[in-house]
Amino acid sequence: MIEQEWDTERWKAKSRTGKANRLTEFDGVSSRHVGGSISTGQHRYKMRRFRELKDDVEASQTPDSPPIDEAALWEQSAGGRKKGRIFGWSTQDPRYAMTGECSSSSGGRSSGTASADELAALREQMAKMEEDVRLREERYLAQLEIERKRNEEL
């Protein structure tokens, strides 16, 4: 039965594609399916490269230099963008991962005050909602009790 499936042109094409993919190389290493991960050695290399780049920048900094852009250093040490992404970032915007702020000024916050105000408003809204749920639950339980007593009387 499985032999019939393996003998189809669709399966053979899939097999050829898989074989070609396994024979490809990236950064001198043959590709293998690792679920998007890299080997420990590759990770160690990228981390070492990041540290070297950061040390070089720190050595050339003066007191009035702008802060180090670690996101740009990581992008460089990780080998740049591939398919619009940077290895190691779960988000498209590496500055957001490093600082919690968007790299574009549009839509970004100018200070932490707005987010603290928003957080306070959300907490207040959540407390009101929790109170509403508690009151609804009390009414529901009271209604159940009334129904239970009615059924007992019957």
Task: Give me the residue spans of the domains in the chain.
Answer: 2-110, 111-154
pLDDT digits (tens, 9 = 90+) for 96-127: 655 666 655 444 444 445 577 778 888 888 99
- Measuring CA to CA, how many Å separate 92 from each of 16, 69, 99, 102, 112? 33, 16, 14, 10, 22
Assess contact for 82 and 75: CB atoms under 8 A: no
Q: Give residues with Cβ within 8 angstroms of 25, minimum separation 6.
A: 31
Structure tokens at 54: 């950061």
| Percent of the chain residues past pLDDT 90, beyond the cut | 15
Output DSSP code: residue 25. E
pTM exceeds 0.75:
no
| Confidence at residue 47, expressed as pLDDT on a 0 to 100 scale | 87
